[in-house]
Amino acid sequence: MLIVGAMAVIRHAERHAVRRPWLVQLLARRKPKVAAVALANKTARMIWAMMVSGERYREPLAA
């Protein structure tokens, strides 16, 4: 399910101007399905960290 969600994020990023530089740079280097697995992995690590610490999700600050 995380990979399916990541593919949705990537499709949205390709259609619209996205402010996620990490994802834009990754898509420039890798195929979309490989980038989806990387994004799903990143999401899973964030979910695990939030569950362990009990914190809520905080949107990353734009640089």
pTM of the entire predicted model: 0.81
Q: Collect all residues with Cβ–Cβ distance below 8 Å to 12 and sequence separation of at least 6.
A: 18
Where does residue 54 fall: left (phi above 0), alpha (psi -120 to 50 degrees), or beta otherwise?
left
The pLDDT confidence band at residue 60, using thresholds 50, 70 and 90, is: confident
Q: Give the model confidence (pLDDT) of 9-44 as tens digits.
A: 999 988 887 778 888 889 999 999 999 999 999 999
Confidence at residue 2, expressed as pLDDT on a 0 to 100 scale: 96
